[in-house]
Structure 1
Amino acid sequence: MKGIVLTSHGLLADGMLDTIKIFSGEPSQIKALCLMPGDDMAKFLGDLCDAIDEVDTGDGVLVFCDLLFGTPCNCSGALLGKKEYKERVQVITGMNLAMLLEYIGMRDNGMKPSEIIDTGKCGIVDFNELHKQRSQEL
């Protein structure tokens, strides 16, 4: 089973992990890593490597990042250029709760990154429009 590292600016990753526990109990092989204002990027990168090493039991790691080209994403991306991480780390940006819950529920089945991303996109809906459409169907 692949490990999971959630990365974010501020406490978003901690909040995501806290919310995941409400729905999924205490998931295994998952860490949250939060970049706070004033944090040293080199230390964050080292903490990221430690988190990856901690959750990887041999099947690799998915690193979820809050924002494309933000510091957590850039640090995760920098690891892809290193031989020891290139083959075992997959980085997905735009993390949202829908994709995380789906992946945690399905990760034993080898869910593909494209499927994880599709799940995240499907969770983004104009609810007013959806409600209007459903009301018209009744």
Structure 2
Amino acid sequence: MRKVILASHGELSKGMLNSVQMIIGEHTQQIETFSLYPGESAQDYAKQLIEEAGDHPDTEYIVITDIVGGSIHTALLQSAKLENIKLFSGMNMSLVLEIVLSNKECEIDNDRIQNILDSGKEAIVYIESICDELEPEEF
């Protein structure tokens, strides 16, 4: 079993889930969100996640945080020490879709992780550079 957790400052995680649901619909049942608000502690959530993952060692937890080095990412670093938790940072739609649509029957291994990262990176482009390559009639 796989559980995907989108974790962010504010409501980015909820918005991402909403957008992913618009694209793939029912395939989002295994996605949860965590939104950190002012005055809350990401450490509290990290402790809760570690406890849950420890109680369910057969579940693969894929955690995607909004930004590398942010308070959520930093708090969840300790959770990545568990074998059944994989932590990604730098949330974007392509990265989330790649993870959610990957084969749920197979654990995400190092080769698959690299494909997921490549997909997320390839989705980030500077439009002017693309426009220079296109002919006017392609618009």
Correspondence for 2:9: 9
Q: 1:66 to 1:106 in 2, by over 3 A?
A: same
Tell me whether 1:116 sits opposite 2:112 in the alignment: no
Q: Distance in 2 between matches of 1:9 and 1:51?
A: 21
Correspondence for 2:46: 45
Between 1:40-49 and 1:111-120, the stretch displaced more is 40-49
Between 1:72-81 and 1:123-132, the stretch displaced more is 72-81
Structure 1 residue 105 displacement after superposition: 1.8
Q: Distance in 2 between matches of 1:57 and 1:87?
A: 8
Structure 1 residue 97 displacement after superposition: 0.7
Correspondence for 2:70: 70
Correspondence for 1:103: 99
Are the counterparts in 2 of residues 6 and 33 from structure 1 also a CA contact under 8 Å?
A: yes
Structure 1 residue 102 displacement after superposition: 2.1
Structure 1 residue 44 displacement after superposition: 2.6
Please report the TM-score for the alignment, with normalisation by the length of structure 1.
0.81
Identity of aligned residues (%): 25
**How many residues are aligned here?**
133
Structure 1: which 5+ residue stretches go unaligned? Answer: none
Structure 2: which 5+ residue stretches go unaligned? Answer: none
Please report the TM-score for the alignment, with normalisation by the length of structure 2.
0.81
Are the counterparts in 1 of residues 53 and 84 from structure 2 also a CA contact under 8 Å?
A: no
User: Within 5 Å, which residues of 2 pair with 1:123-134?
Assistant: 123-134=123-134
Are the counterparts in 1 of residues 53 and 59 from structure 2 also a CA contact under 8 Å?
A: no
Q: Specify the SS of the correspondent of 1:63.
A: strand
Q: Specify the SS of the correspondent of 1:69.
A: coil
Structure 1 residue 136 displacement after superposition: 6.9
Correspondence for 2:61: 61
Structure 1 residue 32 displacement after superposition: 0.5
